[in-house]
Amino acid sequence: MQDLRIVQPRALLREQVLDKLRNAIIEGWYPPGTRLIERELCEALGVSRTSVREVLRQLETEQLITVEPRKGPTVATIGVVEANAIYETRIIFETAVVRAFVERATNAQCIALKGAAEAFAKAAATSEKSALLSSMGSFYDTLLDGAGNAVLQSVVRQLMARVAFLRSKSLSEPGRLKVSVEEIGQLCDAIVARDTRRAEDIARLHVSNARDAALRQLALEAKAK
């Protein structure tokens, strides 16, 4: 178990705690089905129960945890059926985000997107899970910002935590990371070239391939139980 303790108060404490615990779940430090005990979380994070409870409520909203009477918070399990539904929804919204970015993004935002794609490629060279997920998250944050649609941003961000969890699964499949880097690079090139149709096609292909890899990994995990 890695150290979850908050080291330096650079941002609001609640946001730091939320990021730490969300990432711990996404990266598998707390596997699906794990009970989250407030006292233990307080000790691991070095914060009060009030902070932990606020964060747990947010994670429940993001559907990364479930809270049952007399059982308390538990890390949610995403099965094959739910994962498939998430990816179906992601394809619809991701192509919309890509289209909006192509139409509205500034040149500075295009440069930022290229930088985010390059950061993902560099992270892939190390295969360090935390860096991979963080850099991919930054790529999509930049894409959402450049889309310039607050409603679309809000809807997509509701999916992001579960998408990140599934991304952790898909990128763990042998060979998938290399292909993902190529797809993100091609997607970025098409977007920066303002080629809407090609960008949408690559986005669909990328999500479809990610879905297939994630579903295979989930099936393997279910079979191993």
Q: What is the DSSP string of 116-172?
A: HHHHHHHHHHHT-HHHHHHHHHHHHHHHHHHHT-HHHHHHHHHHHHHHHHHHHHHTT
How does pLDDT run across 187-196, given as a tens digit for each residue?
999 999 999 9
- Smallest Cα–Cα separation from 141: which of 195, 186, 101? 101
How does pLDDT run across 100-124, given as a tens digit for each residue?
999 999 999 999 999 999 999 999 9
The answer to whether residues 117 and 53 belong to one domain is: no
In a domain, 194, yes or no: yes
46: domain CATH number is 1.10.10.10
The answer to whether residues 202 and 118 belong to one domain is: yes
The answer to whether residues 186 and 126 belong to one domain is: yes
How far, in Å, CA of 192 to CA of 26, rounded?
A: 30
The answer to whether residues 44 and 92 belong to one domain is: no
In a domain, 8, yes or no: no
What percentage of residues in the chain have a pLDDT greater than 90? 83
Q: What is the pLDDT of residue 127?
A: 85
How does pLDDT run across 32-59, given as a tens digit for each residue?
999 999 999 999 999 999 989 999 999 9
Last residue of a domain, one of 27, 55, 75: 75
The answer to whether residues 114 and 65 belong to one domain is: no
In a domain, 184, yes or no: yes
- Predicted TM-score (pTM) of this structure: 0.87
Number of domains in the chain: 2
The answer to whether residues 86 and 20 belong to one domain is: no
Residue 17 has pLDDT above 80, yes or no: yes
Q: What is the pLDDT of residue 95?
A: 97
In a domain, 119, yes or no: yes
The answer to whether residues 87 and 128 belong to one domain is: yes
The answer to whether residues 41 and 103 belong to one domain is: no
The answer to whether residues 37 and 132 belong to one domain is: no
In a domain, 2, yes or no: no
* Range of the structural domain that residue 46 is part of: 13-75
Q: What is the pLDDT of residue 14?
A: 85
In a domain, 27, yes or no: yes
The answer to whether residues 104 and 155 belong to one domain is: yes
Last residue of a domain, one of 40, 58, 75: 75
Residue-wise DSSP of 183-225 = HHHHHHHHHHTT-HHHHHHHHHHHHHHHHHHHHHHHHHHHHH-
The answer to whether residues 127 and 99 belong to one domain is: yes
In a domain, 1, yes or no: no
The answer to whether residues 33 and 96 belong to one domain is: no
Last residue of a domain, one of 75, 93, 125: 75
